[in-house]
Structure 1
Amino acid sequence: MRAMTLHLLKLAVGVNSVEHLAELQTARLAEARAAGRPPLLVHVTRQTPKETAALLDGGSLYWVIRGLVSARQRLVALEPVQGTDGVRRCALVLDPDLVETETQPRKPHQGWRYLKPEDAPADRRSGSAEGGDPKLAAELRALGLL
């Protein structure tokens, strides 16, 4: 029986925009290459998701940036890691392709949350009417104007 795809929702703390997230990730990849490590995008979380099969069956990590779901990256793997403090954590290995999504407001939360495919925002189409301010676009969508 095939697992139902699930996604994760995570706050991008300290990130101002999708472009800023892309810059940070590009810098992390460059640091890994310079240090002789494999150039993998990894985001470490405290808790390990229980729904591994569903997450790796086409699931993505959706990034909440400044209160709006704004981008996603496909989940490639979930790997156990141990922090320098000896505590076990989970490394979310991400596809480097950062895909902008239609914006969707989200309230702050701790850690990550599961996101069902039917609740996930669609990928942003190039030339979308949202091209400007994402908060304004979200407000216009809520009013049914986008």
Structure 2
Amino acid sequence: MAIHIVKLCVGVSSVDELEAHRDREMAARRAAGEPEVAMHVTRMSPARKDEVEAGGSLYWVMSGAIQCRSEIIALEPVTGADGIKRCAIIMSPQIIRTAAAPRRPFQGWRYLKPEDAPRDLTGGGDGGDDMPGELRAKLLELGAW
């Protein structure tokens, strides 16, 4: 059975901003002749690696709520320039918007059971997705979703 990961998207306040970052990352990978996959490096490796790689996604928290996800392809050990071992989360470059799911700040990442994961959006504007980011964040804070 698959399990997901939830992580704060530090320094990014909207899905549009994350998509722009991902577009730059994919352009750089194409130019370097590298595979077009997204990668995020984190300090700790999930103990439940097999479950995450069995169809899990990385759910991103921005502006106080889960707002999107990326499908995880693999978890690979990497060593940083400082010699510290880390975990590279290799993901599909596609970003899938989800229904808003409020989350308080936390450090690192957390597991997310499939039954607790927010549903994918199909473009219907559910959860205020068609609203300006600041307004949507304030409504989330007030408990609108």
Q: TM-score if structure 1 supplies the norm length? A: 0.88
Consecutive unaligned residues in structure 2, runs of 5 or more: none
Matched position secondary structure for 2:20: helix
How many corresponding residue pairs? 138
Q: Is the 8 A contact 1:62 1:70 kept in 2?
A: yes
1:49 aligns with 2:49: no
Match of 2:70 among 68, 73, 77: 73
**Alpha-carbon displacement from aligned partner over 1:22-64 (angstroms, at most 9, x marks no partner):** 0001101112222333332100000000111111111100000
Letter in 1 for 2:3: L
Which runs of at least 4 in structure 1 moved beyond 3 Å after TM superposition? none
Root-mean-square deviation (CA, aligned residues, Å) is 1.4
Deviation for aligned residue 1:66? 1.3
**Distance of 2:136 and 2:121 partners within structure 1:** 12
Q: Is the 8 A contact 2:26 2:93 kept in 1?
A: no
Consecutive unaligned residues in structure 1, runs of 5 or more: 142-146
Distance 1:125 1:38, change over 3 A: closer
Letter in 2 for 1:134: R
In structure 1, the residue matched to 2:144 is 140
**Distance of 2:122 and 2:32 partners within structure 1:** 37
Q: TM-score if structure 2 supplies the norm length? A: 0.88
Letter in 2 for 1:94: M
In structure 2, the residue matched to 1:90 is 87
**Distance of 1:11 and 1:118 partners within structure 2:** 20
Of 67-76 and 32-41, more deviation after overlay is shown by 32-41
Identical pairs, percent: 43
Distance 1:26 1:140, change over 3 A: same
